Structure 1
Amino acid sequence: MNDAAPAWRNLLDDQATAVAGLISQLLPKRLHELGPEQARALVNSAPSAEPITRLDHVEQLTVPTRTGAIAARLYRADGAGSRGPGPTLVYLHGGGFVLGTLDGADELCRAIAAGSGWTVVSLEYRLAPENKYPAALEDCIDAYTWLARSAPDLGIDPAQIAVGGDSAGGNLATALCLYRREKGDTLPVAQVLAYPAVDDGFTRPSWSDFADAPLLGAAEGRWFWEQYTGAGHPGGDPLAAPMHAESLRGLPPALIITAEVDPIRDDAEAYAQRLREDGVPVSSTRYRGVFHGFFTEVTVFAQAKHAVEEVCQYLRELSRG
């Protein structure tokens, strides 16, 4: 047996190394070996009794969709309501389309609202494999439409709605933009994407370089994709894997954040390059020393705090025009 440490381990900073060790202790198997229910039980975050970032206004919403309703959570920065309808970020959590909850993105959404002055609306879309593609995307499409239509009642400026998400949530955010572009609907003012899962080829070098990276490796990536689309999905669908879109021209400006040790890294950075080539303004930052999933852990990783600060600055500048 070869017990040599993987080459990528030397790329991790001290915080990421410690967290990677903790993950290996807490998870008896890799996520793809656990199955959806056990993975959810071990990975999904419990509600926080005392949030780190306190806001005056956090509201639970029920958002109607074509199949019923989904839960959402609205975060408003202190004092923002007194200034009238304001800019809003619709946030879609990650989790490989299988994992993730509103609670898992709670502290991140609080930090973005407090730091940017934007309202944040976090959506709890349906998960796979119980609800396969396009269920999650349909929830996001319907929720975004409802939020834009209900903006006056929610204190939202309908002309200043951005969309964002991490990992699978980044996929859904990009697909939402593609869908609205094709329908001729008003687009979000921006896309804020953390290591978005935009391709289904699993062929770029980072998929082999970080095949056994902490939390998300190559086997997990393929497993999550099969849970979402089904083993028989033919591929090539741009609303499932946005990299397949013939053109990205006309999509909203994007901020794209990637992690150095992440199988998805090269796909996300290739997507950023395609956006640039198609004339879409893009800001892209690779955060060194961290692995997939770092962005939402704002109380754990210093790099996550820096990334959130970058997002907040981007949104502040966006609202100033």
Structure 2
Amino acid sequence: MTEVDATWTEPAGAQHSVPVRVYRPHEPDPESTGLPCVLYLHGGGFTVGSLDGVDEVCRLISVRAGCVVVSVDYRLAPEHRFPAAVDDTRAAHGWLVENAAALGIDSHRIAVAGDSAGGGLAAALCLDLRSRGLPQPALQVLVYPAVDNTFERPSWTEFVDAPLVGTADAQWFLRQYVGDEGVAPSTLLTPLQAPSLVGLAPAHVVTAEVDCLRDDAEAYARRLEEAGVPVRHQRCPGVFHGFFTEIGTFTKATEAVTDVCAGLRKAFGDGTVTS
């Protein structure tokens, strides 16, 4: 069983508390140089979602990938609009790198992962690190990530009334995040619109077949590939948005997480991932 650090830590650099929950696959070895780590960002349309909502998937990743998982409780809209969640993600990552040794983590083997809104934040973090000339994560795991705001690709029409999140739901979440007046264009809000994706971390992209966000996420995977980024894309048939965290409910959730963990183990072992 994964052990959970019940003490939430406040990453340095933020002007407020950014709670995190830490999962470990086992007690740290005093002789070890540190375990690999995944910084995990939950979904929920930037508006809902919590550490508890991704507890099971974080536990499973910790055990099967043999790594520490640090789950981030970033601020939510509409009380905290863009770029609050991005700022908290940046602060949490910076705190993790700075305190890696004290946490028993290998600072050279830190990956970032997230589902839905969290996947968008994971993609944004990689763009933000590149813009600041900082090292990329070992891997970016993007599970049906929110990476665009145009709602133009076919899946937005094909799955307009998809289970859990339909097109109108996604549009409502975006309005909560940016406000009715919107915000200035930013690649940290819409990574798919970034002029270049060159030099970003290797990616493992998971999409659901019956999901209005599917085509945006798959377009991002293609753009990463075109930019020379190693990408593994996994479309899961017959499931809808939100399935990934439903461990014990959907067999395909456990299968998808297991596949992600295999990719993480490979990335932590040699720093690469292949398609």
Q: TM class, shorter-chain normalised?
A: over 0.9
Specify the code of the residue in structure 1 equivalent to 2:112. Answer: V
Aligned residues: 268
Unmatched 5+ residue regions in structure 1? Answer: 1-53
- The one of 93, 96, 116 equivalent to 1:147 is 96
- Of 2, 5, 17 in structure 2, the residue corresponding to residue 69 of structure 1 is 17
Q: TM-score, normalised by structure 2?
A: 0.94
- Residue 59 of structure 2 aligns with an amino acid whose one-letter code is R
Alignment partner of 1:104 is 2:53:
yes
1:158 equivalent in structure 2: 107
Residues 234 and 123 from structure 1, CA distance in 2 versus in 1: closer, same or farther, beyond 3 angstroms?
closer
Alignment of 1:130-279 (within 5 A): 130-234=79-183, 236-279=185-228
Q: Does the 8 Å contact 2:65/2:265 carry over to 1? A: yes
Secondary structure, counterpart of 1:158 in structure 2: strand
Deviation at 1:187?
Answer: 1.6
AA partner of residue 87 (structure 2): E
**Code of the aligned partner of 2:73:** E
Please tell me the root mean square deviation across aligned C-alpha atoms, in Å. Answer: 1.2
- Structure 1 residue 55 and structure 2 residue 32: aligned? no
CA deviations 1:3-60 (Å, max 9, x no partner) are xxxxxxxxxxxxxxxxxxxxxxxxxxxxxxxxxxxxxxxxxxxxxxxxxxx2245443
Q: Do 1:187 and 1:251's aligned partners in 2 also have CA atoms closer than 8 Å?
A: yes
Q: Is the 8 A contact 2:4 2:21 kept in 1?
A: no
Percent identity of paired positions between Structure 1 and Structure 2: 50
1:319 Cα deviation from its structure 2 partner: 1.8
Does the CA contact (< 8 Å) of 2:113 and 2:119 recur in 1? yes
Cα distance change on mapping 1:88 and 1:227 into 2, 3 Å: same
1:70 aligns to what SS in structure 2? coil
Q: Is the 8 A contact 2:39 2:110 kept in 1?
A: yes
Question: What secondary structure sits across from 2:19 in the alignment?
Answer: strand
Secondary structure at 1:189's aligned position in 2?
Answer: coil
Alignment of 1:29-44 (within 5 A): none
* 1:247 match: secondary structure: coil
Counterparts of 1:283 and 1:176, CA distance in 2: 19
Q: Which residue matches 1:17?
A: none
Q: Which ranges in structure 2 are unaligned for 5 or more consecutive residues? A: 271-275
Counterpart of 1:62 in structure 2: which amino acid?
T
Per the TM alignment, residue 66 of structure 1 is displaced from its structure 2 partner at its CA by 2.2
Equivalent of residue 246 in structure 2, options 294, 297, 308 = 297
Deviations 1:219-253 (A, max 9, x none): 01111011111121245311111011100000000
Instruction: Give the counterpart letter for 2:49 in structure 1.
Output: G
Give the drift of 1:109.
Answer: 0.2
Rg larger in structure: 1
Structure having the larger proportion of residues in helix: 1
Residue range with higher mean Cα deviation, 231-240 or 138-147: 231-240
* Distance apart, 1:81 and its partner CA: 4.1
Between 57-66 and 154-163, the greater mean CA deviation after superposition: 57-66
In structure 2, the partner of 1:309 is: 258
Match of 2:26 in 1: 78
Change (3 A) 1:236 1:117: same
- By how many angstroms is 1:85 displaced? 0.8
Q: What is the CA distance between 1:128 and its match in structure 2?
A: 0.2
Give, in angstroms, the shift of residue 210 of structure 1: 0.4
